[in-house]
Chains A and B, each alone.
Chain A
Amino acid sequence: MSFFRSFTFASLLMAGTGLLFPAASFAGDHHGSRGDDDDRVPPVTDPLTRQECGACHMPFPAALMPAASWQAVMGDLSNHFGEDASLPPAKVTAITDYLTRNAGRGSLSTGAPLTRISEQGWWVREHRNEVSPRQWEQVGSKANCKACHKGAEQGDFER
């Protein structure tokens, strides 16, 4: 009987977790096309990258920044936009490898790489005059893509 109760309790918990995290069932192999002026990008498919980056924020698609930007971000995880996001060296290497292999095309600027997605030229252009200060206040953080782009985690930024 106690086994049955434990089992029921565990099942309830699991069902609850499933409801809280519908994204867990996301089929990670969907790739959007990469045409010109296309607002779809391949979502993060690497399980380690999804898990570690996704612990604190939506796992941002690699194509949103050039390789040099990802290298700069991954090279300073203990100062990660105001927090310490350190990882063991082997994980840093594996994630950096995934992100740089799938990175977007970089600009030819010679200065230090821009480490925020929201600093990239395309991002600034796409959001200019699109979002009011009051809306930004509701979004909270520019890292919170999903506040407006409901399909962001699947790489869909068309809406």
Chain B
Amino acid sequence: MRSLLIVGGLAAALVTGTAAWAAGPRDDILAALAAQAKAEQPAFTGFDAARGKTFFQSAHSGGKPDTPSCTTCHGMDPRQPGQTRAGKSIEPMAVSQQPTRFTDQEKIDKWFERNCSSVLGRACTAVEKGDFITYLSQQ
């Protein structure tokens, strides 16, 4: 019984902790991306975590040869830390592991701009960005 209470307390702390600083900005960021996605693709109906997972794990073409995929640096499991090509550790991308992920617009813009260029050789679309954030928010 006591351990159940402890687990319950931890879960509550996790929920309130996350809600206190993360969900708001991320929801706003996703809403803005959804508006852009609708403008880019009139048939757009919503972001899709499964599509985001495929995008994250796939090897792409058109980018720089040393970085064919998000997983080149972030690894296949977003709940685990990644590693840059220069050997520096990267915090996990999964929101469950790193609750501040995708809450800072400037940081999001900076890394999508660089990494979409490195991996795809072009800017990412709003749908790709929204799918990516949706997938990692559920990890």
Measured CB to CB, the residues of A under 8 A from B are 2, 5-6, 8-10, 13, 20, 54, 56-58, 78, 81-86, 139-141, 143-144, 146-147
- B54-66 vs A: 1/0 string, CB under 8 Å? 0000000000111
Per DSSP, chain B at the interface is: helix
Complex Cα–Cα for A83 and B114 (A): 8
Contact A5/B87 with A78-B117, A84-B115, A86-B114 known, Cβ cut-off 8 Å: no
The 3 closest A-B pairs by CB, nearest first: A144-B87, A9-B17, A57-B86
| Total B residues in contact with A, Cβ cutoff 8 Å | 24
Within 1-25 of B, Cβ neighbours of A (below 8 Å) are at: 9, 12-14, 16-17, 20-21
Which of B68-124 touch A at CB < 8 Å? 84-88, 91, 99, 113-115, 117-118
Bound CA span A82–B115, Å: 11
Q: In angstroms, how far is the closest chain B Cβ from the Cβ of A78?
A: 7
Interchain CB contact under 8 A, B66 and A84: no
B109 to chain A, nearest CB (A): 11
Are A85 and B114 within 8 A (Cβ)?
Answer: yes
Choose one: A5, A13, A139, A140; the contact of B9 (CB below 8 Å).
Answer: A5
User: Is B67 an interface position by the 8 A CB rule?
Assistant: yes
Q: A58 contacts B85, CB within 8 Å?
A: no
Question: A2 vs B9: C-alpha distance in the bound complex, in angstroms?
Answer: 10
Known: A86-B113, A86-B114. A5 touches B86 (CB 8 A): no
User: In whole Å, how far is A129's beta carbon from the nearest beta carbon of chain B?
Assistant: 23
**A85 proximity list for chain B (CB < 8 A):** 114
